[in-house]
Amino acid sequence: MKSYQGVVLRIDLTNQTSRREELNREWARQFWGGKGLGYRYLFAELAPGTDPLGPDNKLILATGPFTGTPVPCSGKLTIVTRSPATGTVLDCSVGGAIAGEIKYAGYDLVILEGRAPFPVVVRIEDDRVAFEPAGDLWGLGTHAVEHQLTDKWGAEYRILSIGPAGENLVPFACITSELYRQAGRGGVGTVMGAKNLKAVAVRGTGGVRVADAARLMDLALKALRSDVLTDTNLWAYTDGTPMIVELSQNAGILPTRNFQDGTFADFAKLSSPAVQAARMAKKACLSCGLGCGNYIRTGRAAVEGPEYETLAVAGANCGIGDLEAVAAFNAACDDLGLDTISAGGVVAFAMELTEKGLHDFGITFGDVERYLEIPDLIARRKGIGAELAAGVKKMAERFGGAEFAMQIKGLEFPGYEPRGSWAMALAYATAPRGACHMSAWPVAEEAYGSRDPFTIEGKAELVRNLQHYNAFKFSLSLCDFWAVSWETMAELLSAAVGEDLAAEELQLAGERIFNLARLFNVREGFSARDDNVPPRLVKDALPSGATAGKLIPPDRYAAMLKEYYELRGWTDDGRPASVKLEELGLAELGRKAGL
């Protein structure tokens, strides 16, 4: 198949060696790249029960068949590992241009394994791999790391790095690239820290060959002009994700004060017009015509962001109606290497624990100055940061508040209140990596769109279909902000790899990829009992706005989950049944998962 480099770079950090391996093309043909291909390698290479922070865990950097080509919005890198926050399979994507550099250096995948005996930076330039001691960088923030490495080796290098949070094994440590782009969730940065891997710097000088370059260019340019730069996608350029603040506020699903409310009185101070007023420039990832990034400067910080998730979870959800403060929190998290979503989640939880008198963290909703001290405390595990660094699930085990501990499988909630988007509750609960908005995003159809959010009718099917769509799209490393059709993906992929692919085949691949993630989790002991939502969602009604009086009745949630399992061909305890595995070509892997 064209458009692949056909090479996997395997890096052994323990022995500081590397070797080139042939890409498993059979797997590439079934799982394509990015998320799917990363899952396939991880499933094959990790023994069940592998300690996420041990040397046997792996960090897989996965590109896709479109990486490095002008297919619009194809610049994302997927990072796959076993999550130290959840114990589930974890895939996390990051934008910028590093995926392109990896591909131009000649690799489809880079697999990092083992543990370096001392802090290192892995430097990759085409076929040369070097292990540079990083003792002098240990303890520094990601911004200083990037500046120092590009000063030394050249601005052409693109870098993945961790800050003190990753070094100190905070379970929600992220990986930063190009200062403001993050692979945020589930502790990908924690895994780097556990491997003594401070940074990976990559430069590639080669190129990507596809099956039919002229045809791919014709199709991609047509897509760019008539399917990307259109009224259906240009919100990402005109506004970017801060516009979602407006949608969520209107729909009553803007998480406020640790999900105690779905509207926020000060929402306008966090919404798109406020971000635009501070905007200096728009910034895109490699090959993206949308350029969702808003590079802003406020009195407290310069940052590309804040994105919606940060504005919602680290803003409204902490009672912070102050863009300057959220931007400063965002910039600090990027530099320290903390996921802003989970960081916002633990801060909001600590605020509510304090408010309810369960434990006094000395921090209350809306307290800007105290709020701004917290990222550093968490990253360095100092003061209350030592407690907050445990994450919401473990904080609840220690301090109480399980009723309002907004996490699933140990991953803190993103910025959508499920009581005003019942399908989102199902999406969070069944996402492979815990409470995650990237496995399916049904809010567009129901909370924001025309479908009734307060019913379970048709929601299992909606979530299932969206999960297949994202699973496949992210296996091509396409960005979620391009609302691309299955047919367009099939057309582009056919031209890239030189086969005649139909949308139906890609849909089946999406289902296969989603089920493989489930198999990984089943193998690690996850089952239906882990697909539950926090009690708050089924017990407490929301107080205001479009969701006033709404909760998800527990029997409705149970019925929705049951319908979802049936629709998926899974058993009552949430395991893929053998008929389904057979249909997806996963029967052998199912046996390996103990099914």
Partner 1 sequence: MRLTVKLWGPLAKYAGAGTAEFIVDVPAGTTVDALIGLLGVPAEYVLMAAVNGTKSERDRVLRDGDVVHVLPLVAGG
Partner 2 sequence: MHRLVFAMENCIGCRLCQLACSGRHEGRFSPLEARLAVVSRYGRQGLVVEARLCDACGRCVDACPTGALTMGDGVPLLNNDLCDRCGVCAAECPQEVISIKDDGLPRICDHCGGQPVCVAWCPHGALKLEEVSGQ
Site for partner 2, rule CB under 8 A: 68-70, 72, 97, 100, 104, 146-147, 155, 178-180, 205-210, 213, 216-217, 221, 224, 228-229, 237, 280-291, 293, 295, 297, 302, 304
231 binds partner 1 (CB under 8 A): yes
Binding partner of residue 480 among partner 1, partner 2, none, CB under 5 to 8 Å per kind?
partner 1
Instruction: Pick the stretch among 11-19, 174-182, 202-210, 226-234 that binds partner 1 (CB under 8 A).
Output: 226-234
Rounded distance, CA 120 to CA 130, Å? 10
- Check residue 308 for interaction with partner 1 (CB under 8 A): yes
Residue type present at position 474:
F
What DSSP state is assigned to residue 416?
-
Structure tokens given for 159: 């870098």
Q: Which is nearer to partner 1, 104 or 448 (CB)?
A: 448
Q: Are 63 and 109 in contact (CB under 8 A)?
A: yes
Is 450 a binding residue for partner 1 by CB under 8 A? The answer is yes
Residues 401-430, mask of contacts with partner 1 (x by CB under 8 A): -------------xxx--------------
Which one, 67 or 467, has the nearer CB to partner 2?
Answer: 67
Q: Are the C-beta atoms of 581 and 590 separated by less than 8 Å? A: yes
> Residue 409 CB, nearest distance to partner 2 (Å)?
34
Identify residues 529-588 at the interface with partner 1 (CB under 8 A).
Answer: 545-546
Q: Cβ 358 to partner 1, closest distance in Å?
A: 31
> Can the peptide bond before residue 55 be classed as cis, meaning omega within 30 degrees of 0?
no
- Sketch the per residue contact string, 461 through 480, with partner 1: x for CB under 8 A, - otherwise: ------------------xx
Distance from C-alpha of 281 to C-alpha of 180, rounded to nearest angstrom:
14
Closest Cα to residue 270, out of 203, 328, 321?
321
Q: Which is nearer to partner 2, 218 or 360 (CB)?
A: 218
A 10 A CB-CB count for 420 gives 28
CA–CA dist 335, 328 (Å, integer): 11
Q: How many CB atoms lie within 10 A of CB 495?
A: 25
Q: Is there binding between residue 486 and partner 1 (CB under 8 A)? A: no
The DSSP H or E segment spanning 276 is helix 272-277
Partner that binds at residue 441, options partner 1, partner 2, none, CB closer than 5 to 8 Å by kind? partner 1
Longest CA pairwise span in the chain (Å) = 66
241 lies in the site for partner 1, by CB under 8 A: yes
Q: Give the integer Cα–Cα distance in Å for 334 and 260.
A: 27
Contact 567, 460 (CB under 8 A): yes
438 binds, among partner 2, partner 1, none (CB under 5 to 8 A by kind): partner 1
Confirm if 529 and 561 have CB atoms less than 8 A apart.
Answer: no
* 208 belongs to the binding site for partner 1 (CB under 8 A): no
Binding site for partner 1 (CB under 8 A): 230-239, 241, 243-244, 246-247, 249-252, 272-273, 308-309, 414-416, 437-438, 441, 443-444, 447-450, 479-483, 545-546
